[in-house]
Structure 1
């Protein structure tokens, strides 16, 4: 089992170029299935979830070429509507192929998705919306057998602004008959990115980034050339790394507007932050300040994907901070591991009370999911002595060679 071994106590200093967005490219890769012809994607991150998704595309008949950070995908020979259950179980975003394949082929047989266990994350919202659009869905031995031959555009009201359900509805509606309106849609930047890509391919989608998205179905989509946006969660993780180690960092290829809540909270914690067009500079204080209560929530609220990393920073604050997790009910798995390193955190329901301590101590800890693993790495970078973070496989799903990035900034970290 892969692990990270970290000798803490070194401030992170230097310049980092942020890579392409994990949460941006995955729905785009599913969306490629709606197109006919060749699509070229630039600035693609080399992470496990992208590799898994490309394997699924090949299973569906796509021809794939890789050139440095570009991926060339040809979908002309795609005919398969059955997705291997083992592939689906590797990651949560595999459910997006349901909307894409139903849009193109009107039929799909797909298993339930896997991914990090950070809560129930049921796909009920996806299935309810699809049924409202006329999709027939039957379950046979754990496989969802779906038929969209009678699918037509409708008004869809999502019970919760789920990112995945919003993306899946967009994918299904893009080349379906009629007009679809999605109410209470997710507003995340990744939704805007999916709209931008699909419109380049010939779609007619408006409203992404707002709670109401309008889709006029078109007959078919063609391939396109597109550059994936920078990863705002990776960027936030690197900033937190500098903050917790009393470091100084400059991020290149980053969009500050998509990270507003994280930047505001880092500023509140005492960090000096300077923004330019596509870069962010951060200098950490000698002592992190506690922050006012944080509530995670759908964009533009504080992102749940940054909650574990930011909690690591607050373990070393000069007072008490409170974080309430409102998105996922099981996203506190990092807390018990941080406490093994000397953190003082108590949990009351979905709220964590973090009392800052003078220092963290190196320990043997275990990452339970992607962001949990990242949070423990950050804690290890700041801790006294050696920290070993098990389950590097989770971290690899969303961060490309994170150990090399931190090493370039002065950290002592190796992947074993």
Structure 2
């Protein structure tokens, strides 16, 4: 584990070019297993989850050439092999479950390890994914250390499915299975996040036949084989929002490159609830504040200002902690509602160490009473990427030295994150925990 030392109180200023979206990069990496042709990806970030998946590819005999300096990855699964009895997928990484469709399509067998969890957001069930694999014809056997999946027929078979909720990873697993399945598959209640659209665009580039991008209904006609391609990732909207929020909470002026401002109207309105104006000009976005942050009062009497997070096109749940940090800083009260995860809001005690006032109403809802005097503190992050970042944000806004313990999850999603913040004038450093 690593800790972050934060010397806060400096307004951050400057320009940042964000990295690619982890939630697009990882499913695209998994999708490359579907083709035997060479693939080149540009803009691949140097994050721990990428390293883990590439190590799996190497262990399975794939050709992998990764240059983290340029972000260019060449991968070729021509001579890849897999044996469900001995080959293991990465544990403690949720995205490893998206390796299953490629393995089923290529080898007729795959595994799901017992500890496929990712961030500690509460119960993260695998049943929706297993159901998808079964609907495409996979047979599932529970073993002592995980699940083994087998496809007795020659190919996966197309089907129509309606998910319980708009799960990103379930949607991506369905599309991965359907791309090479026999026949036409349809998915209702599909996730439509920008990174899901980017993932589908990559598969289309390989030759997959996908209809309905950006909607809740996807139709995929299976093809016999997929080809190779070159693909460049777009900027991560999570990282764009994070750097804009860091500028706002420190009273600075940060500009972030943003080639997709059309994805931001609701996010812009959410920033406005804290007195932050987002301006998009000439491919760049910046946060403008007019004095101290202040919560915008609702016109409806006797209700709190609200930020509700759910599947796209709602505010993404991954970004909710970023806005919680603004809620701690801004004068006024806000209710934050995570409509997906039941274990992602239980870090109010860490905010209180800064002097922040936050009340956990239930496992899904938190109320912040912002604008209170804040002081430097030593806090401990749960294993949730953007909670660690939110605690860093609060610390960066307070003059003095703070410590964010167990901040390692940041490295799972944001390459060179601390270096980027320091380029804006922050004084932050990694130190190893004892």
Smaller-chain TM-score range? over 0.9
Match of 2:128 in 1: 125
Cα deviation, residue 87, structure 1? 4.7
Alignment counterpart, residue 322 of structure 2, candidates 278, 299, 309: 309
1:159-178, Cα deviation, whole Å (9 max, x unpaired): 11100000001111101111
1:128-150, Cα deviation, whole Å (9 max, x unpaired): 12222222111111321112243
Alignment counterpart, residue 392 of structure 2, candidates 347, 357, 377: 377
Q: 1:254, 1:279 within 8 Å by CA — same for their partners in 2? A: yes
Question: How many equivalent pairs are there?
Answer: 416
TM-score (norm 2): 0.92
Structure 1 distance, partners of 2:265, 2:46, is 26
Q: 1:131, 1:137 within 8 Å by CA — same for their partners in 2? A: yes
Q: 2:117, 2:124 within 8 Å by CA — same for their partners in 1? A: no
1:24-35 alignment runs, 5 A limit: 24-35=24-35
Match of 1:367 in 2: 381
Alignment of 1:319 onto 2:329: no
Give SS of 1:393's match: coil
Match of 1:76 in 2: 78
Match of 2:247 in 1: 242
TM-score (norm 1): 0.96
Match of 1:332 in 2: 345
Classify 1:354/1:47 alpha carbon distance in 2 versus 1 (closer, same or farther; 3 Å): same
Structure 1 distance, partners of 2:311, 2:41, is 27
Alignment counterpart, residue 146 of structure 1, candidates 149, 163, 172: 149
Classify 1:44/1:257 alpha carbon distance in 2 versus 1 (closer, same or farther; 3 Å): same
Structure 2 distance, partners of 1:214, 1:389, is 45
Moved more, 374-383 or 112-121: 112-121
Alignment of 1:160 onto 2:165: yes
Give SS of 1:264's match: helix
Alignment of 1:414 onto 2:429: yes
1:249-281, Cα deviation, whole Å (9 max, x unpaired): 111144222233222111232223211353212
Q: 1:59, 1:83 within 8 Å by CA — same for their partners in 2? A: no
Moved more, 71-80 or 357-366: 357-366
Structure 1 distance, partners of 2:200, 2:257, is 25
Structure 1 distance, partners of 2:95, 2:160, is 24
Question: Where in structure 2 are there 5+ consecutive unaligned residues?
Answer: 297-304
Q: 1:236, 1:259 within 8 Å by CA — same for their partners in 2? A: no
Classify 1:86/1:247 alpha carbon distance in 2 versus 1 (closer, same or farther; 3 Å): farther
Classify 1:346/1:86 alpha carbon distance in 2 versus 1 (closer, same or farther; 3 Å): farther
Structure 2 distance, partners of 1:148, 1:414, is 49
Alignment counterpart, residue 112 of structure 2, candidates 110, 115, 120: 110
Classify 1:254/1:2 alpha carbon distance in 2 versus 1 (closer, same or farther; 3 Å): farther
1:50-84, Cα deviation, whole Å (9 max, x unpaired): 11111122122211112321111011011214497
Structure 2 distance, partners of 1:329, 1:86, is 29
Classify 1:258/1:148 alpha carbon distance in 2 versus 1 (closer, same or farther; 3 Å): farther
Cα root mean square deviation, aligned: 1.6
Cα deviation, residue 192, structure 1? 0.9
Structure 1 distance, partners of 2:402, 2:306, is 29
Structure 1 distance, partners of 2:246, 2:346, is 19
1:220-235 alignment runs, 5 A limit: 220-235=225-240
Structure 2 distance, partners of 1:31, 1:188, is 17
Q: 2:10, 2:399 within 8 Å by CA — same for their partners in 1? A: no
Structure 1 distance, partners of 2:288, 2:86, is 47
Cα deviation, residue 384, structure 1? 2.9
Match of 2:139 in 1: 136
Cα deviation, residue 107, structure 1? 1.4
1:193-212 alignment runs, 5 A limit: 193-212=198-217
Match of 1:45 in 2: 45
Classify 1:367/1:83 alpha carbon distance in 2 versus 1 (closer, same or farther; 3 Å): farther
1:279-310, Cα deviation, whole Å (9 max, x unpaired): 21212232112252111100010110011111
1:368-407 alignment runs, 5 A limit: 368=382, 369-407=384-422
Match of 1:355 in 2: 369
1:178-205, Cα deviation, whole Å (9 max, x unpaired): 1110011001111111111111111111
Classify 1:126/1:265 alpha carbon distance in 2 versus 1 (closer, same or farther; 3 Å): same
Structure 1 distance, partners of 2:76, 2:348, is 44
Give SS of 1:353's match: strand
Runs of 4+ in 1 over 6 A off after TM superposition: 83-86
Question: Where in structure 1 are there 5+ consecutive unaligned residues?
Answer: none
Alignment of 1:294 onto 2:299: no
